[in-house]
Every structure is written in structure tokens, then in C-alpha cells.
Amino acid sequence: MNRGAVNRIIPFSSVDGPGNRTAIFLQGCNLNCLYCHNPETINQCSDCGRCVETCPAEALKHQAGKVQWNEESCTHCHECLKTCNLNSTPRVKFMTVEEILEELKKLQAFISGITVSGGECTLQIPFLVELFREIKKLGLSIYVDTNASVPLWKEKEFLSLVDQFMVDLKSIDSEEHKMLTGVDCDVVLENIKHLAIRDQLYEIRTVIVPEVLDNQRNVEQTSKLIATLNPDIRYKLIKYRSLGVRGDLINTSSPTDEEMKRLGEVAYSNGCHQVILI
Ligand code: SF4
Ligand code: SF4
């Protein structure tokens, strides 16, 4: 039976797409962004057992070469995340479609849909296709939050099951994207064009990082691209914040409110109808 590696499920979220949504975060990412705010979602656990000793609640055990997590004993102190040097977590659940559906059925009356995020959720497309087929039967809308580094235009059934995508365009310049994430942005841009043509692109997001990225160029060129594709696609500009990031990889400050406002005005003046600053 196909199981998904689930980092966590947030029953009610108002920041992961329109309305009240259940957000499902999958474990595992193919990028390694300098400013990643959840680095523990990048890799699958290797079961090395290092974190077991540091758990103050005895919620972890190392048995038969596998680390086992007891959710009921866990106090969510995050000590295991501090110990892990693999950018992973022992608190991943390998869930079947039926197990996730059981959770969703309890919430169904209170939500308008679900959003799947990560990590990078599109690394688990076969599992998502099985899950989405069933979620559709519940009448819930399906949004996908992605770094768009997997060629989504090849995934016909997956695309047909998703209502809308929210895509990170970390930099519109390939060299800069590679410096930040480890890969260029060619596939990301191709995905953006395909999703816009299919009218499945709800939002493009860019994190504004002073001193590290050419923020002026990114906003200038990305907003022009959005205005050409469909000016009603939301363009979200996110203020870099240092909380949760790996200080040994990046050391810079947050942009000022004035700078965010100025960049927002650049996007509006280039034709974007919906610019969101957060
Ligand atoms: S967060 Fe990690 S270290 Fe803390 S109680 Fe839970 S399993 Fe143990
Ligand atoms: S979470 Fe990290 S430290 Fe703990 S067992 Fe897995 S790889 Fe080892």
C-alpha cells in the first residue's frame, strides 16, 4: 500500500490558500535553500538514532534499526531537531490514504478544502494522485504549494485533480536561483507558464532577502511576467525573517516595511492587480 511521508497536518489554516483549509505538510525536499525556515523537512530520517538520547520526554526509541516516535509522549520541545545534523526529524508519520481521509472526514464540515505543502510535496506525486482522487469525492478543493522544480506538465492526472497551485519563484535569474537553492529556475518558469495557461496558478511567491538577492530585478521582471500571463494571479512578496533559518548558511537582516512597500509599488506599476506583502 502506498504511504505518504507526512511531517504534520494542521487542521485549520487561514494562510495556506483561500478560506479555512487543512494543511498537509509532506516530508522531503529536493532543494536546499539558504533561507529555508523548516530545514528539518528537507531529508528523510536515516534512523541513525542520535536524537533518541536527547529526547527529554523519552518519546523516541531505537528498535531493530528504526527510530520510533511516540506522539502521545512528545512535548514538542524540538530538542531532536537541534540534535539532528541531517536536516530531518524523527517525527514523520508514514500515512495511508485512508488514514488521512479519516482525519479529513472529522474536519470536513469546517473547511473549504485542503492544501498540500512541504518539504516539496510533488516528490510524492503517485501518493498524492491516490489521495486526491478520494478527496475529490468529499467535495473539498485541492491546492498545492510547490517549488515547481518537478516538470508538472508531464503529470496529466495530477494536474487534472488539483484546483490551484501556489508556486515559489525564489529568483527569476537562473544563476541567482542556483546560488540560493542548488538548481536553476528553468523548470520553475516552464511550470509557471503551463499552469497559467491552464488557469491553475493562484499565486506566485518571492521572498525578499536583502544583500543576498537582487530584489529589485526579481520583482521588476517577475511582475512583468505575471502581467503578461494573467495580471489577476496573486503576487506575494514575503519579508525574509531569520526565525528558524540556519545561521551558518545565511546572515542578513529583514527588509524594512518601506522597502517592501516600494517593491509592492513596482509590481503594481508593472501591471499586477493583486500584490500581497507579508
Ligand atoms: S520534540 Fe523531539 S525531543 Fe522533544 S519530546 Fe518530541 S520527540 Fe522528544
Ligand atoms: S531524526 Fe536525525 S538524528 Fe534522529 S534518527 Fe533521524 S537522522 Fe538521526
**99-117 pLDDT, tens digit each:** 999 999 999 999 999 999 9
Which grid cell is 41? 523537512
- Cβ of 59 less than 6 Å from ligand 1: yes
Q: Whose CA is nearest to atom 8 of ligand 1?
A: 55
- Range(s) within the chain of domains with CATH label 3.20.20.70: 3-40+93-277
Asked if 176 and 215 count as a contact pair (C-beta separation under 8 A), the reply is no
Asked if 6 and 96 count as a contact pair (C-beta separation under 8 A), the reply is no
pLDDT for 251: 83
> How far from the centroid of its chain's Cα atoms is residue 88's Cα?
15
Asked if 11 and 102 count as a contact pair (C-beta separation under 8 A), the reply is no
- Please tell me the CATH code under which domain 45-83 is placed: 3.30.70.20
Average pLDDT value for residue range 230-234: 98
The CATH topology of domain 3-40+93-277 is TIM Barrel (3.20.20)
The proportion of the chain whose per-residue pLDDT surpasses 70, expressed as a percent, equals: 100
Separation between Cα atoms, residue 161 and residue 133, nearest integer Å:
7
- Range(s) within the chain of domains with CATH label 3.30.70.20: 45-83
Best residue among 7, 38, 80 to mutate for probing ligand 2's pocket (most ligand atoms within 8 Å of CB) is 80
Q: How confident is the model at residue 250 (pLDDT cuts 50, 70, 90)?
A: confident
Q: How confident is the model at residue 195 (pLDDT cuts 50, 70, 90)?
A: very high
* Contacts of residue 51, Cβ cutoff 8 Å, sequence gap at least 6: 60, 67, 79, 80, 83, 84, 90
pLDDT for 173: 97
Q: How confident is the model at residue 121 (pLDDT cuts 50, 70, 90)?
A: very high
pLDDT at 56 over 90: yes
pLDDT at 249 over 90: no
